[in-house]
Amino acid sequence: MQRRIALVAAAAAAVVAGALAVAGPAAPGAAAATSGGVRIAYYDQWSIYQNAYYLKNVDAIAGNLDYLLYDFENIDPNNLTCFEATKATTPDPGGESDPNAGDGAEDQFADYQKTFGSDISVDGSADTWNQPIAGNFHQLQELKARHPNLKVLLSIGGWTYSKYFSDAAATDASRKKFVSSCLDMFIKGNIPASGGYGGPGTAAGIFDGIDIDWEYPGSPTGHVGNHYSAADTANYTALLAEFRSELDALGGKHYALSAALPGGQDKIAKLQTDKIGQYLDFGNAMTYDMHGAWDATGPTNFQDPLYPSPNDPSGTIPPGTEKYTIDSVVKDYLHGSSAYGIAGGFPASKLTLGIPFYYRGWTGVPAGPNHGLYQAASGPSAGHPLSGNVPGVAMYKELSGVVDNPADTYWDPVTQSAWFYDGTNFYGGSSAQSIRARTDYIHCTGLGGAMMFSLYDLDPGSTLFHAVVDGLAASTPNCSAPPPTTPTTPTTPTTPTTPTTPTTPTTPPTTTTTPPSIPAWAPNTAYAVGAKVTYNGVTYTCRQAHTSLVGWEPPNVPALWLAS
């Protein structure tokens, strides 16, 4: 979720400035997510500015959502508590180089002071001067009234606002202080009175729980200037335990607790993956931003490859041999990795797969042998206004004629990922086909569902959102376990190969049936769906038509070959 600062700085700063002028046993409260079908999406606080994406827009799709995560609130650098204020983030290019970009920043105006006219409000009624709260919080009240099954969680942190998590989680006392302040403000609704709105209890009942987006515990790879410590690993678990305990103590209903979980082995290794799941209703793996224009001259690559490819020129993640892929991330959460010191043990039914609704791109990309894929570039793709004019980032609706043009859309059957190339610009991101591959993966791996980041990026038709919802609702045939790493013994045929009569032949049969020969896998060979090959003593069935290349041996590409 690294785009957060750029969008706030570029889209919200001017509007906000104008507003200023006028471990233990499993926790009983943590219920497992339903396997395969949970639908989660983030709604960005700053969507109401130049993007003009209001909660009224969400109303049309809210019936297909289980959880809406409202992001992000910040941590007070002085008191290490949740707070409300109106102060824009530092508007340098993306805020990435300013270690203090998020200090004290907040958008109280967007949360509960901005008034909405009847044309942009959820229920079609205009805000009035004497109502308790306005802003997005009141629009969430209207949205929940229309969709009573929708759960809304308050998300704390994000890329820019994670600086002080380490400090807030450092001791038992600081954790209790931080958690109680967040619940008092956002669950009990005691937001500060300001600008004619707010006050004790005025925001009660809006939020059904808390989402923690700490990027990243114990790691120097977050926003420049973030505080971190080796103690973060244990303290992160303790912080989630404290949230779970205090949410349960509220009584009256079950309050959900979720967390955005990192999508790289170097960062996953800093988590107690075998302990944190007991406190969470679900954990949202940020399985995107794996490649992007921070590698300014490429090579171009997918931002969310599902499986590895032998053609991927990127390096491995030290100290192991894995590259950034969704499959490796999921397996490490579930099963661990000795190379990276990851314990595994996170419940599959509580893990959701992150699906991006934005694109990462480069420009000056030659076609090369494969339509711009894995090619050098002259630099990041041009910025776009609604994406904060940040180079290398764009929304679906900002790439009209590219991501919605079949002639510019390409598919890699090995990584099960899409890319888009118009002869100069290359973008990695979601397509209907890549989304269906990921929802199939969710079903076949027994994951809880999908997390979508974020609704801010949707086009008027909500194209990518509907692809996720439809994919989660669809059945997935032919799920299978990953191919075995060692040859297996062929199973005994169910049909006898010897005649059933007579039971004891007195003379040798005059004819015999020879099983058809299964050819060995070979490169530079076209294979159709259903074709069978052998490789190292194992029989594989082709799952998707393709022409095999060197490096695409069946064990390397489970997306193409199913072990018998």
* Token representation of residue 11: 């889209």
* H or E segment to which residue 359 belongs: strand 358-363
pLDDT at 494 over 90: no
- pLDDT at position 534 is 84
Q: How confident is residue 183, by pLDDT bands cut at 50, 70 and 90?
A: very high
Which of the pair, 338 or 562, is modelled with greater confidence?
338
User: What domains, with CATH codes, occur in the chain?
Assistant: 38-358+429-473 (3.20.20.80), 525-563 (2.10.10.20)
Radius of gyration of the chain (CA): 26
Q: What pLDDT was estimated at residue 480?
A: 57
Q: Is the pLDDT of residue 315 over 80?
A: yes
558 band by pLDDT with thresholds 50, 70 and 90: low
Residues contacting residue 515 through CB under 8 Å, at least 6 positions apart: none
Residue 110 contacts residue 135 (beta carbons within 8 Å): yes
| pLDDT band of 26, cuts 50, 70, 90 | very low
- C-alpha 58/C-alpha 54 separation (Å) is 7
How far apart CA 361 and CA 289 sit, in angstroms, is 11
pLDDT digits (tens, 9 = 90+) for 206-222: 999 999 999 999 999 99
pLDDT in tens, 515-545: 457 888 887 788 876 788 888 777 877 766 6
At residue 25, does pLDDT exceed 70? Answer: no
With 0-12 / 13-18 / 19 or more C-beta atoms within 10 angstroms meaning exposed / middle / buried, residue 293 is buried
CB distance 359 to 425 below 8 Å: no
Distance CA 371, CA 46 (A): 36
What amino acid occupies position 134?
A
Between 43 and 502, the more confident residue is 43
**Block residue for tokens 């594989």:** 540
CB distance 136 to 111 below 8 Å: yes
pLDDT bracket for residue 559 (50, 70, 90): low
| Cα 322 from Cα 211, distance rounded (Å) | 29
Provide mean pLDDT across the span 12-35: 38
Q: Which residues make beta-bridge pairs with 153?
A: 69
Asked if 523 contacts 549 with a C-beta cutoff of 8 angstroms, the reply is yes
393-409 pLDDT, tens digit each: 999 999 999 999 999 99
Of 117, 240, 546, nearest to 533 by C-alpha is 546
Output the pLDDT for position 517: 79
pLDDT at 540: 78
Reading phi first (left if > 0) and then psi (alpha if -120 to 50, else beta), residue 157 is in left
Q: Model-level pTM?
A: 0.83
> What is the share, in percent, of the chain residues with pLDDT greater than 70?
83
Rounded to an integer, what is the distance from CA 537 to the centroid of its chain? Answer: 38
